[in-house]
Chain A
C-alpha cells in the first residue's frame, strides 16, 4: 500500500503566527494531492489541492507547496486563528484511490 506520513503529529502555534504542516509521500507516480481539515466530531473538509504539474498553489490564507524531487508536501497557514485548530491531513492520489496521512493536530494558542 501507499505510505503518506507527516513529520510532526502535533503542532502548537501562537495566534497570528504562521503555521507550516509537512507531509511526505512515497509514490512518485502520485499526480494529485489534497489537504483536508478535520474538526472534532466532523468529517474532513477540503482546504486546497495541487496537481503534480505545479510547485505552489495559493488560496485564502493557505499555500500548498509541492517538492516532487524529495516527495514532500507542505501546507502553510498565514496568520493562524483559533478556528484553525483541527487535525490536518494530506492525501495523495494514485490511480483511482486516495491515500491519507495520519494527520497533524494543530493547536492555536490565544
Chain B
C-alpha cells in the first residue's frame, strides 16, 4: 500500500515557467488537498477537493490551479512560477474532510 505519492521530490524552476506537481493516492479517499509549508508559517491550504470533479480554494490559492478527474489523482499546476512560490508542497488525502489526513513526502520547489 503506497499511500500518498508525490512527484517530483525536488524541482527548480525559472521565473515564468510552468509545471505540474503530481499527487496520487491508492486508499480510495474522497478528500484530497494541497498545502505549502514555509519556514515559521506552518502548513497553509492551497486547494482541496471533496471528490472527483469537485475542487475549491483554500487559504492561499493564487497562482495555482487544480483539477480532479479521478479519485486517485489531484495534480497541482503552477502556470507562471514566481520566486514567492518557493516552498515545500504537500499533498494529503483523507476519507472525509473531518478525519485524519495522510500526507505525501513532499515536493521541494525552488523558483529562481
Contact = CB atoms under 8 A, between A and B. Distances in A.
Interface of A: 1, 4, 31-32, 34, 36, 41-46, 49, 89, 91, 93, 96-103
A109 to B, nearest CB: 24
A34 B103 CA distance: 13
Interface of B: 4, 33, 35, 40-45, 48, 50, 58-59, 90, 92, 97-98, 100-106
Nearest to B3: A43
A101 B100 CA distance: 16
A4 B101 contact: no
Contact of B45 (A31, A44, A97): A97
Q: Chain B interface secondary structure, helix, strand, loop or mixed?
A: strand
A16 to B, nearest CB: 28
B27 to A, nearest CB: 13
A42 B104 CA distance: 8
B44 A42 contact: no
B103 A43 contact: yes
Contact of A100 (B44, B97, B98, B104): B44
A43 B100 contact: no
